[in-house]
């Protein structure tokens, strides 16, 4: 598989990893992580990029944050107990059905579930982009360690606006005009 370093919305999947309140409120700078996760979901939805949400052991950690859930007309999350999303039943089928080449990861925790998902995705030949300003860990040090490991094994570290503008590709389109209010 040819790896591209620029996002293409036609082959991307946004994966919202475990943004559950019982975890979220313990995350360093959690409000920024939540706000940017919400922005990424809105951008993806506006541009037709599919979005998948996972929940780590929801019986113990509770549901996905309500502000994220309400962005979906028919909310559904893939439940998992493995730290990597690749341990979740049905993930592989979703990726094949959508013809995904690139996983765009947001959520928590950067050094556990996001990191293990990224490593497993790279090992399976997917491109991986981590949205730095939409991932978090309980400590900034652990976030940095997770991000650095992902970078070392071939993941691309990106940001909310970088991803958006790569998905958009150009100004002057109807999509660009429709998304402008979300950017500001």
Annotated catalytic residue 29: no
Other beta carbons within 10 Å of 58 = 17
Query: Is 113 a known active-site residue?
Result: yes
Residue of 80, 85, 101, 133 marked catalytic: 80
Q: What CA–CA distance (Å, rounded) separates 99 from 1?
A: 13
d(CA 64, CA 77): 8
The yes-or-no answer on residue 85 being catalytic is no
Q: Which of 85, 101, 113, 133 does the annotation list as catalytic?
A: 113
Q: Considering 18, 85, 120, 143, which one is annotated as catalytic?
A: 18
Q: What is the layout of strands, in order, in the sheet containing 102-108? A: 78-80, 51-56, 12-17, 102-108, 127-136, 156-158
Active site residues: 18, 80, 113
């Amino acid at each position: 598989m040819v790896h591209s370093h620029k996002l293409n919305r036609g082959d991307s999947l946004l994966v919202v990893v475990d943004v559950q309140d019982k975890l979220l409120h313990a995350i360093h700078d959690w409000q920024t992580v939540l706000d940017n996760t919400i922005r990424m979901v809105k951008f993806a939805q506006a541009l037709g990029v599919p979005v998948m949400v996972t929940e780590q052991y929801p019986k113990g950690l509770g549901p996905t944050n309500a502000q994220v859930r309400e962005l979906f007309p028919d909310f559904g999350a893939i439940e998992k107990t493995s730290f990597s999303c690749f341990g979740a039943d049905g993930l592989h089928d979703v990726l094949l059905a959508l013809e995904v080449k690139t996983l765009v990861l947001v959520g928590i925790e950067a050094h556990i579930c996001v990191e293990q998902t990224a490593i497993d995705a790279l090992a399976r030949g997917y491109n991986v982009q981590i949205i730095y300003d939409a991932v978090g860990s309980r400590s900034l040090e652990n976030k940095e360690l997770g991000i650095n490991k992902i970078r070392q094994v071939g993941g691309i570290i990106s940001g909310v606006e970088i991803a958006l503008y790569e998905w958009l590709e150009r100004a002057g389109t109807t999509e660009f005009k429709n998304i402008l209010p979300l950017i500001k």
